[in-house]
Chains A and B, each alone.
Chain A
Amino acid sequence: EPEVTQTPSHQVTQMGQEVILRCVPISNHLYFYWYRQILGQKVEFLVSFYNNEISEKSEIFDDQFSVERPDGSNFTLKIRSTKLEDSAMYFCASSEERKAKNIQYFGAGTRLSVL
């Protein structure tokens, strides 16, 4: 069964460093998303991406964040200068269409630990 894959599963970094989280969405999907989940809190939307541009972003997604689809298969989230409060699970999701159902499939996540 097709699935969303994310790498790495765990990323440890020093505060102020840049990190790139990688995702391979389901191959025929056109809409891509990043969410994050701070430990013990709800899953929060970060950004949605379609046709090589951002469709919507949340207040969390400030200038330190960027997304890119560098080729036909990868979808990346970059944090330029990590802060302690960026420590969280980051989930990539993809969907085939954005009609009423908007069914999104999630990857297993990358645990980001900022020290």
Chain B
Amino acid sequence: TQLLEQSPQFLSIQEGENLTVYCNSSSVFSSLQWYRQEPGEGPVLLVTVVTGGEVKKLKRLTFQFGDARKDSSLHITAAQPGDTGLYLCAGARVYNQGGKLIFGQGTELSVKP
């Protein structure tokens, strides 16, 4: 069974602080996608990382794919209340003909003003 362990599950910080969310697996993924999900809505794609060691930036968000393509991280600099939400990582394996995504448990982020 392929698992994607996401940590922490809950994070409550003050505005202006930095934070990092981790996604780890013993399996190799062909890509890893980060989504943000608001209550009662579907996951919205933030970024996809494909190459081992790849780093992508989206404003104050920095995403990194591990060299071995087994793990990924999301770093937010100077968090703002608007960053509050559920962040999900999801891995895909190109050798899997079905193309399913395997999701982590999610990180519930709360940024207090």
Contacts and interface: CB of A to CB of B under 8 A. Distances in A.
Partners in one complex: yes
Interface of A: 4, 6, 31, 33, 35, 42-45, 48, 50, 55-58, 89, 91, 93, 95, 98-109, 111
A115 B40 CA distance: 19
Interface string B15-45: 0000000000000001101010000111111
**Residue of B30, B33, B42 with highest tally of chain A CB at under 10 A:** B42
Interface of B: 30-31, 33, 35, 40-45, 48, 50, 88, 90, 92, 94, 96-106
Contacts of A106: 35, 42-45
11 contacts: A31-B99, A42-B105, A43-B101, A43-B103, A55-B99, A56-B96, A56-B100, A91-B43, A100-B94, A102-B101, A111-B40
Given A43-B43, A56-B98, A106-B35, A100 B50 contact: yes
A31 B104 CA distance: 22
A103 B44 contact: no
B106 A42 contact: yes
A18 to B, nearest CB: 24
A109 B48 CA distance: 21
A98 to B, nearest CB: 5
A100 B101 contact: no
A76 B102 CA distance: 22
Given A31-B99, A33-B100, A108-B41, A102 B92 contact: yes
What are the 5 A-B residue pairs with the smallest beta carbon separation, nearest first? A56-B98, A106-B42, A102-B92, A45-B100, A43-B103
Contact of A42 (B31, B97, B104): B104
A93 B33 CA distance: 14
Contacts of B43: 43, 91, 106
A13 B4 CA distance: 33
Contacts of A111: 40
